[in-house]
Amino acid sequence: MPDPTPAEILADPQLWPAEPPQAMELQRRLAPQVRCEPLPARSVRLVAGLDVSYDNTRLAAAAVVMDLTTMRVVETATGAGTPRFPYVSGLFAFRELPPLLHALDGLRCRPDVLLCDGAGQAHPRRCGLACHVGVLLNRPTVGVAKSPLGTPGGVPERGRGAWASQRHGDTEVGRVLRTRSGVRPVYVSVGHRVTLEDACALTLRATPSYRLPEPIRAADQLSRRRLAEQH
DNA sequence: GCGACAG
DNA sequence: ATCTTGTCGC
């Protein structure tokens, strides 16, 4: 059957537990559904950056789609909402996903891959936000976090492109990647339907100038503006 | 029990 | 996440 739409996901009560124990249980069910597979590199052109801003009362999400070959913004969409779940480390998908799905629902184009502001498999239950949204939508996703969740990983060399592994026992759950020489690295992990290698390569391609990928920076700014103009 | 803890 | 402008340095 066809991939679920953001609206269908939002409407499914089974996917929105109210309490942390049930949320953790859902993550344990989603984690095994993550698939690591090569992202057909030449077909990757449209990359969507996702981010959420919030204050005490409201959440505002943004999706910014950019064409990687030109680095131009192709389309943007936003979504808003009221917090339905407390902030709990390791569970923030349950807080940020609803407005994010509203934003994705407003997109007319179909991005080749989604870049998420947060962890993918580098997560206590191997189901960070990037895995969560990727599995639910059955779309390729990559997690790019500004700080590590759990295992800090190694320290990469100073130059752009250098990386070190983030391991959980014998498995490499993510990479500490230097996107700018001499600048604090980012933490890249697989969300869904990408390999860790492709996730890092894509992150670098999407990050020509600053520490964070351009689509994520744009989504950060847009969601912030969206939040500001609500009040 | 204590500390750490994506955004 | 957010409170927040200019400023020091490569």
Per-residue pLDDT tens digits for A118-137: 999 999 999 999 999 999 99
Q: Which residues make Cβ contacts (< 8 Å) with residue A8, sequence separation at least 6?
A: none
Pick out the residues of the known binding site of A: 51, 117
Flag whether pLDDT at A43 surpasses 90. Answer: no
Whether A154 is covered by a domain: the verdict is yes
**pLDDT surpasses 80 at A67:** yes
Q: How confident is the model at residue A230 (pLDDT cuts 50, 70, 90)?
A: confident
Domain carrying residue A64: 6-228
Average pLDDT of A151-180? 94
Among the listed ranges A166-170, A210-214, A223-227, which one has the minimum average pLDDT value? A166-170
Q: Establish if A213 belongs to a structural domain.
A: yes
Q: Which residue has the higher pLDDT, A43 or A212?
A: A212
Domain count, chain A: 1
Any domain includes A35: yes
Q: Residue-wise over A34-66: b if at least 16 C-beta within 10 A, else e? A: bebeebeeeebebbbbbbbbbeeebbbbbbbbb
Residue with minimal CA–C1' distance to B6 is A118
- Residue for token digits 């902030």? A87
Q: What's chain A's average pLDDT?
A: 95
| Residue A216 forms part of a structural domain | yes
Q: Is residue A224, in this structure, part of any structural domain at all?
A: yes
Query: Residues A146-162: pLDDT tens digits?
Result: 999 988 999 999 999 99
pLDDT at residue A150, rounded to an integer: 87
C1' (C10) to CA (A24) span, angstroms = 45
Encode pLDDT of A1-17 as tens digits: 788 999 999 999 999 99
pLDDT tens-digit series, residues A80-112: 999 999 999 999 999 999 999 999 999 999 999
Measured CA distances, A198 to A36, A99, A184 (Å): 10, 27, 21
A227/A231 Cα distance (integer angstroms): 7
Tell me whether residue A1 is in a domain: no
Residue A231 has pLDDT above 70, yes or no: no
Quickly give A90 CA vs B5 C1' distance in Å: 8
CATH number of the domain enclosing A218: 3.30.2170.10
Lowest mean pLDDT: which of A31-45, A54-68, A72-86, A88-102?
A: A31-45
A223 located within any domain: yes
Q: Which nucleotides of B are covered by protein (CB under 7 A)?
A: 5-7
**Protein residues with beta carbon less than 7 Å from any atom of strand C:** A 52-55, 117, 146, 182, 220, 224, 227
